[in-house]
Structure 1
């Protein structure tokens, strides 16, 4: 992942773009809370690989 920067005076500011996503539904939020409380290792793996939202959205769609 390459990050580009813009120089502002003496500081380099990262050019960050926030993805537009639809909000999680009820079951997606429940899955996230379950993972956080009962499966912390899987939760951390999903957060660090940037797949937590995808996973919770998939669960929400299936429900």
Structure 2
């Protein structure tokens, strides 16, 4: 068999019947917790960016990449919520005076922030 790149990089073959099958392994990577944002991005990669997903998986960088996306998305989400609360004047005083109105405003802000983070980070 000719000297090919796989053999030059230290690749080994296993004989199965009359065939030589390359022994492939996926590189081990450090396990990091992945939150909701990272899981959403993982689903997006699997469905719409299959080549990127496969490259990250085979290079052993998928978990690190998803943990980073999750961290970025969570930080952006929290900054957006605080900015929108200040811009709309949602304060603790409103919470004391009219809790239902405060919850209504906060739920609206969270939904808007979630949509922005999805568009800018998770599904980009």
TM-score bucket of the superposed structures, by smaller chain: 0.5 to 0.7
Q: TM-score, normalised by structure 1?
A: 0.65
Q: Distance in 2 between matches of 1:19 and 1:39?
A: 21
2:34–2:70 contact (8 Å) kept in structure 1: yes
Higher normalized helix content (fraction of residues): 2
Tell me if structure 1 keeps the 8 A contact 2:29–2:63.
Answer: no
Aligned partner of 2:43 in structure 1 is 33
Q: Whose strand fraction is larger, Structure 1's or Structure 2's?
A: 1
1:46 aligned partner: 56
When the two chains are superposed, the root-mean-square deviation of aligned CA atoms in Å is: 1.7
With over 3 angstroms needed to count, the CA separation of the structure-2 counterparts of 1:19 and 1:54, relative to structure 1, is: closer
Instruction: Give the greater-gyration-radius structure (CA).
Output: 2
Which structure is higher in RCO with an 8 Å CA cutoff and minimum separation 6?
1
Q: Which runs of 5+ in 2 are unaligned?
A: 1-27, 74-124
Q: Quickly say closer, same or farther: Cα 1:25–1:44, change in 2 above 3 A.
A: same
Q: How many residues are matched?
A: 46
Distance in 1 between residues matched to 2:68 and 2:62, nearest whole Å: 10
